[in-house]
Amino acid sequence: MRKVAVVILMTILPVFGFSQSVFDKYENMDNVGSVIVNKGMIDLVSKFGEMSDDADAQEFMEVASGLKNIKVFMTEDASVSADMMSTVKKYLKSSKLEELMRVKDKDVNVKFYVKDGSKKDHVSELLMFVSGLNNVEIGDHGRKLETVLVSLTGDIDLNKIGTLTSKMDLPSDLNKASGK
């Protein structure tokens, strides 16, 4: 009886959102840098933003308060980059993500995918995949990147994302995607 209960529990847990992301396998790889921000930390940062008088900080916190988690994976390893690309392609086939936009500049490709949310102009997932960076150096540590994978999940208001990106120093093509 216990085995049956465990099997049933394991079957229904993913329906409630407790399953791991297909991208979590990159978190523990030596040749992959990762940043994982979970709901608890997002809520904590949002509380600090609520105390601020800065309108931009408050607007950012409104966007952040709808997030469940943020996952960023980065690598300079060509074989891991190829695996990430393959994993993203498989994930796109099995999920309900649609391409929002893509930007190509020389060898660099940036693709944005979204999954519809519960309200108009809201998405439940935003996935960004950047490839072909040709070992772009970041930080003072001499770390170079070839591929970056970013996953945001939660209740994401695309209008607020658009407002924030219009205030950042981003290429004009990215601001056009947000309707600004």
Residue range 97-123: mean pLDDT, rounded? 89
Of residues 24 and 173, the one with the higher pLDDT is 24
Q: Is the dihedral of CA 117, 174, 95, 67 positive or negative?
A: negative
DSSP per position, 69-86: EEEEEEE--HHHHHHHHH
Q: What contacts 116, CB < 8 A, 6 or more positions away? A: 96, 98, 122, 123, 124
Residues constituting the chain: 180
As a whole number of angstroms, the distance between CA 12 and CA 40 comes to: 24
Over residues 63-89, the pLDDT tens digits come to: 777 888 889 999 989 899 999 999 999
pLDDT reported for residue 90: 94
As a whole number of angstroms, the distance between CA 142 and CA 161 comes to: 31
Please check whether residue 162 is in contact with residue 179, taking contact to mean a CB–CB distance below 8 angstroms: yes
Please check whether residue 164 is in contact with residue 142, taking contact to mean a CB–CB distance below 8 angstroms: no
Over residues 116-162, the pLDDT tens digits come to: 888 888 899 999 999 988 756 666 566 677 899 999 899 888 877 76
As a whole number of angstroms, the distance between CA 109 and CA 52 comes to: 37
Global model pTM greater than 0.75 = no
Chain centroid to CA 104: how far?
Answer: 19
Of residues 179 and 105, the one with the higher pLDDT is 105
Over residues 39-62, the pLDDT tens digits come to: 888 777 777 666 667 776 677 677
pLDDT reported for residue 12: 41
